[in-house]
Structure formats: structure tokens, C-alpha cells
């Protein structure tokens, strides 16, 4: 049976460069005067039997037939539609090979494993105001901490309701609304039936140095294959590069609080790492991540990123060992039975595996 494509929409909003799929759908909904659920149906996504966007892998991965439906409805190319999903980072920052549209369990497992917010987002209030409500895909990454253009920390919590930005009611994944129109510039979290109307452009944020802004830009360029990935002077794949960042972050977390004085990171980030180690809760979405999990706050992400990139910037194997050695010494004081396997990531390049073996004295793996 031949596929039945959706009708061409009369009112189409062109996607902005780097815009997330959910953001584009919201802007399309506003342009067409309908709620997001109706807009998604008009684009050809089968949402009639779905009660939760989790089961759709909404904005995470997409199928070829869905992209063809979007192109039929809007004229937006299949390649552009794919680029608005997190899968654009598959193979570099993320591993989404096992995520299947319509399989809620595969989405749930990947959300817990990967360093990204599948159903939430960080945000630069200044960028959002300037664009009139465009939410960027890279803001959803766990390594997203700084706006390179404005040199400010991103925002992850609404200061009024204390819910993760764009996450949903009380930190749960938001469903596609059948009745409410999107509020692109407002928090919009549902709390006991009330809607948080905090204007996001009015949320204040903190300035950072040009060095931290440049580090975030480096992450984005490696993630999108616009810059070669280098570890200890050797060219590696983007996936290997991010595996090194993750292993270094695990080592740092193991050594808190002894490791904190050794870190070349903002003091606020050091405090956030210490609070994370004490098991404090940051918001209603749940407890903060531990050793191998994604940074749950901007401050934790900024601190881990600053240290991990300094390690990755070592110019040779001996310098790599020297930069890892003090982190390993602090970790030994704390790891005990909590120690994860730092060599588990299969993508670690040989030079890093050798350096970890050297600094951990053959104790890089589990007992």
C-alpha cells in the first residue's frame, strides 16, 4: 500500500539554524493557531495512540518515513528535519543506536545513560530573547554550560518554580498539549494545575571568562565534526574524545572533596561539585547524577568540563599522565567501594587507556 502523506500546510515557519524539533513545532503551532498535539499530527507523526512523548522519542531520533512526512507537509528537507533531533550528535557526544521510535523502554534506558536532556533544555536567556523564542538543540546536551556568544552561564532551573527549564510538570517529561498554546519565552511548567509564567529573558545569569566560552565552543565544534578531535596530540574520533571527557569527569567526581583545590574551575562550580557529592537534591526532577552520569546542573557541567578539557589538551603522553596523576591521587582517598570502572568506555583511545593504567597503578578497572 502506498504511503499517505500529510497535506501541505499553508503556513510554514522556516527552522532556525541549530533549532530543536520541539522548538520548531511550537513555533509552527503558534503560526497556525493550534496546540502542539494538533501540529504534530499535521506534520505526519502518529500520536493518536501515544499518551506520553517518551514513547515517541520526540526530538531524540526520527524515522525516514517521518522525515518524508514532514517534508511533504512543510517543504523542510529530510536532512534538516533530522538535524533538529538529538541524533545529529549520535556518534560524537551521544550513542543513540539502541533508541527506537515508539519503544518507551529504549528511550528510558538511553535517557538514563546518555549525557543529554531528552525532554528538557538549558537556555541562554539573551539568545532566546534575540531569536524571539528559538530553542537550540545543543542546549539539551549534558556538556552544555556556557553561551559562547554572550559569555554567560546557561540557565537550567526556573528561579520562580525551581523546575528544570522545559522539562515539564514538576520535572516530569511534558506531554504534547491538546489545548494550551506554546509560550516560547516563558517557563510554562505546570505546578498543581497552575502554569509558571516566569519570563525566561528576565532570568539573570553569570558572566564567565573568554577561556570558558572558548572551551564550550571547542566542545560544539568537535561534537559537530567542525574541528579535529585531539588527545595528547593525537587525532582521535569525536566519540573517543567525548569518552575521554567522561572518564576524566568520573575521576574528578571520585576525588571530591579532596580534589577541589586542584581544579582550575570557577569557585561556584567547585561548590556545586561538593554539593553533588553530599547527595543534595537540586530540583524536583530528582537527585543529581553520580560518577558516570550526566552533569545535572550547569555549574557541575562547567566544572567538569573545565577540568576534562585541560586533561584532553595535554600535548603528549607524559603530560597526559602528569595531568591525571593528582586527580588519581585524590580519587584513591575516596573511591573505596564506590569506584566505577574508568576503562569501561570502549571508545577510549589507547594513549588514554595507558595513561589511566599508569596513574591508577593497574587499578583502573573494577576489582
Spatial separation of the C-alpha atoms in residues 200 and 222, rounded to whole Å: 29
Q: Which residue has the higher pLDDT, 84 or 54?
A: 84
Per the rule left: phi > 0, alpha: psi between -120 and 50, beta: everything else, 170 is left
Q: Do 275 and 283 form a contact (C-beta atoms < 8 A)?
A: no
pLDDT at res. 111: 86
CA atoms within 13 A on the CB side of 334: 20
DSSP letters for 303-316: HHHHHHHHHHT-SS
Report the range of poorest mean pLDDT among 63-67, 152-156, 190-194.
190-194
Sequence length of the chain is: 367
Q: Do 43 and 73 form a contact (C-beta atoms < 8 A)?
A: yes
Per the rule left: phi > 0, alpha: psi between -120 and 50, beta: everything else, 316 is beta
pLDDT at res. 283: 38
pLDDT at res. 164: 85
Q: What's the average model confidence in pLDDT over 225-243? A: 94
149 pLDDT tier (thresholds 50, 70, 90): very high
For β-strands 190-191 and 194-195, DSSP reports them as: antiparallel
Angle (CA) 263-223-92 rounded to 5° is 100
Spatial separation of the C-alpha atoms in residues 311 and 317, rounded to whole Å: 11
Q: Do 314 and 349 form a contact (C-beta atoms < 8 A)?
A: no
Q: Do 115 and 93 form a contact (C-beta atoms < 8 A)?
A: yes
C-alpha cell of residue 40: 504534530
The string of pLDDT tens digits covering residues 284-309 is: 333 333 556 778 789 989 999 999 99
Calculate the alpha carbon distances from 218 to 49, 224, 269, 324 in Å: 42, 10, 19, 21
Between helix 298-312 and helix 238-254 the angle, nearest 10°, is 110
Q: Which residue has the higher pLDDT, 135 or 274?
A: 135
Is 162 strand, coil or helix? coil
Nearest one of 272, 276, 349, 364 to 314, comparing CA atoms: 349
The proportion of the chain whose per-residue pLDDT surpasses 90, expressed as a percent, equals 53
pTM: 0.90
Does the structure show a pLDDT above 90 at 24? yes
pLDDT at res. 39: 94
pLDDT at res. 169: 60
| Segment 169-175 long-range contacts (CB within 8 Å, at least 24 positions apart) | 170/284, 171/283, 171/284, 171/285, 171/286, 172/285, 173/52, 173/53, 173/54, 173/118, 173/119, 174/53, 174/119, 175/51, 175/52, 175/53
Whether the ω angle into residue 19 lies within 30 degrees of 0, i.e. cis, is: no
194 pLDDT tier (thresholds 50, 70, 90): confident
Neighbours of 142 (CB within 10 A): 23
Report the range of poorest mean pLDDT among 2-6, 10-14, 233-237.
2-6
366 pLDDT tier (thresholds 50, 70, 90): very low
Spatial separation of the C-alpha atoms in residues 353 and 342, rounded to whole Å: 9
Does the structure show a pLDDT above 80 at 45? yes
The string of pLDDT tens digits covering residues 164-187 is: 888 766 556 667 888 889 999 998
Task: Name beta bridge partners: 73.
Answer: none
DSSP class of 6: P
Q: What's the average model confidence in pLDDT over 142-150? A: 96
Average pLDDT, the chain: 86
Spatial separation of the C-alpha atoms in residues 18 and 10, rounded to whole Å: 24
Residue whose grid cell is 569506584: 339
Q: Which residue has the higher pLDDT, 291 or 207?
A: 207
pLDDT at res. 345: 56
- Identify how many contiguous H helices and E strands the chain contains and give both numbers: 12, 8
Amino acid at each position: 500500500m502506498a504511503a499517505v502523506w500529510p497535506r501541505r500546510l499553508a503556513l510554514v515557519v522556516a527552522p532556525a539554524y541549530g533549532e530543536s524539533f520541539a522548538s520548531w513545532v511550537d513555533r509552527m503551532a503558534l503560526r497556525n493557531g493550534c496546540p502542539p498535539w494538533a501540529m504534530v499530527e499535521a506534520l505526519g507523526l502518529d500520536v493518536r495512540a501515544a499518551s506520553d512523548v517518551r514513547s515517541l522519542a520526540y526530538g531524540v531520533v526520527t524515522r525516514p518515513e517521518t522525515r518524508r512526512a514532514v517534508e511533504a507537509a512543510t517543504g523542510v528537507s529530510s536532512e534538516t528535519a533530522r538535524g533538529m533531533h538529538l541524533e545529529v550528535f549520535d556518534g560524537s557526544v551521544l550513542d543513540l543506536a539502541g533508541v527506537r521510535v515508539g519503544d518507551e523502554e529504549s528511550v528510558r534506558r538511553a535517557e538514563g545513560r546518555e549525557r543529554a536532556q531528552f525532554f528538557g533544555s538549558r537556555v541562554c536567556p539573551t539568545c532566546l530573547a534575540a531569536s524571539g523564542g528559538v530553542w537550540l538543540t545543543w542546549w539539551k546536551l549534558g556538556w552544555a554550560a556556557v553561551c559562547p556568544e554572550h559569555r554567560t552561564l546557561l540557565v537550567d532551573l526556573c528561579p520562580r518554580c525551581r523546575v528544570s527549564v522545559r522539562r515539564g510538570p514538576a520535572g516530569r517529561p511534558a506531554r504534547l498539549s491538546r489545548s494550551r498554546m506554546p509560550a516560547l519565552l516563558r517557563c510554562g511548567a505546570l505546578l498543581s494545575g497552575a502554569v509558571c509564567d516566569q519570563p525566561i529573558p528576565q532570568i539573570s545569569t553569570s558572566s564567565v571568562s573568554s577561556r570558558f566560552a572558548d572551551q564550550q565552543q571547542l566542545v560544539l565544534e568537535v561534537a559537530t565534526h567542525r574541528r579535529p578531535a585531539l588527545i595528547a596530540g593525537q587525532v582521535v574520533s569525536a566519540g573517543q574524545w567525548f569518552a575521554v571527557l567522561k572518564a576524566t569527569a568520573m575521576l574528578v567526581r571520585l576525588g571530591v572533596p579532596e580534589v577541589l583545590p586542584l581544579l582550575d574551575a570557577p569557585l561556584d562550580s567547585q561548590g556545586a561539585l561538593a554539593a553533588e557529592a553530599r547527595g543534595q537534591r537540586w530540583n524536583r526532577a530528582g537527585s543529581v547524577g553520580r560518577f558516570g552520569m550526566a552533569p545535572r546542573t550547569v555549574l557541575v557541567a562547567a566544572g567538569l568540563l573545565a577540568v576534562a578539557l585541560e586533561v584532553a589538551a595535554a600535548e603528549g603522553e607524559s603530560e597526559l599522565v602528569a595531568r591525571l596523576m593528582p586527580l588519581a591521587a585524590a580519587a584513591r582517598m575516596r573511591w573505596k567501594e564506590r569506584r566505577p570502572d574508568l576503562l569501561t568506555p570502549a571508545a577510549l583511545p589507547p594513549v588514554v587507556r595507558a595513561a589511566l593504567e599508569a596513574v591508577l597503578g593497574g587499578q583502573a578497572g573494577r576489582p
